[in-house]
Structure formats: structure tokens, C-alpha cells
Chain A
């Protein structure tokens, strides 16, 4: 059974600090995705990483896919209150043509002004 484990589960920091969220598995994934979810809304896709070792940047957010494609990280530089939310990693499982995703349990980030 493929599982994705995120750490930490909760993170409360001051505005301007840096942070890293981790998404780990014992299984190899063909790709991993990161979503952000705000209260009362559905998750919104931030990025997809496909190649082992790949690094993608989205403004102050840096996403990395592990060389062995078993893990990923999300690093936020100089966090702002607008970064507050639930961050979820997800990866495909089962037959590739079904599009099914398995999700980590999420990391709740609170950035205090």
C-alpha cells in the first residue's frame, strides 16, 4: 500500500521566517503534486514535480523531488500571513489511466504577522 507521510503536521511561525515541509514515502512515485487549501475551500494545485532531483520555484516557494522519487519538500522563504493554510502532497496510485491520487495527511501552517 502506498502511503505519503507529511511532517510536521502543524507549524506556527512569525512573518519573515523560513520553513520546510516534508512529504515522504517508502514507494516510488512517477510524480508528486503539492496543493494548498484555505478554510472553507477545496485544495488548489501549486505544482507538479516529475523528474527525480527536479527543483521548481513559485515566487517564494521552492519544491524539490527526491532523486529516488520517494520524497518531496516544500520550502517557503520569508513566510507571509497570506501563506497560512493547509499544504497537501499527493501522488498517483493504481493504474496510470485512472488518475487516482493518494494524499498525505497535510501540514497546517500558521504565519503570524
Chain B
């Protein structure tokens, strides 16, 4: 099925460990996004890539880095995980313009202990 695939689905990290969340889309979308979702706070933008070869910070970028590997793939890296990064992470993609909306992956539930 066409869509956005995220891996892993669940992860537990110890404080200070690093990890990369993977995201791939097969809809030939130009734009890709990483959001985190916390209770009562909706979805907050971490980083985005408006097109292949470009990335930029969103609302809450501290502690994260991203790589737009090619048009299909957009990864999110936590270099030194902190308990405050415990959250559910969603990758999304969209065709321009925004009118067409996002297609989201099913999320990665990350716990940092």
C-alpha cells in the first residue's frame, strides 16, 4: 500500500544513547516533516524538508538532527537522548501546496529512561 513507513514502531533508550528514526514515502511527495506528539500539546514540528536537498528547523529542533537522504527518505537522529524526548514521533509527507494535506506514518513511540 502506498504511504509513509516509519521504523521502528517502539523503542526504549537509556539517557545519553543515540538512535535514528527512519521514514520513507512512496508517493513521490516533495515535502517531508517530523513532528512529535505529547499529551495535551498536539503535534509540534521538529524539522522539515520542503524539497530534496533542503532541511530546516521547526518549532522544537533542539536535541535533534535530520537527513533528507533522497526524495523518498527523511531520517531523524537523536544524538544524546534525554527523558524530555520521550514522545510519539510522526513522519509525514505532502505534495505542494499544503492544500492537499499530509500523509502520516503510524508513528514511533520512544521512551527515554
- A: residues with CB less than 8 A from B are 9, 31, 33, 35, 40-45, 48, 50, 88, 90, 92, 96-106
Contact = CB atoms under 8 A, between A and B. Distances in A.
B98 A44 contact: no
Nearest to A91: B98
Given A103-B42, A105-B40, A96 B107 contact: no
Contacts of B43: 43, 88, 90, 103
Given A33-B101, A44-B104, A100 B42 contact: no
B90 interface: yes
A42 B107 contact: yes
Interface string B72-113: 000000000000000000101010111111111111000000
Contacts of B41: 105
Interface residues of B, number: 29
Contacts of A42: 4, 90, 92, 104-107
A89 B94 CA distance: 16
B104 A99 contact: no
10 contacts: A33-B101, A40-B107, A41-B106, A42-B105, A43-B104, A48-B100, A96-B98, A97-B96, A105-B40, A105-B41
Given A50-B99, A98-B31, A99-B97, 7 more contacts: A42-B90, A42-B107, A43-B90, A96-B97, A99-B94, A102-B45, A103-B44
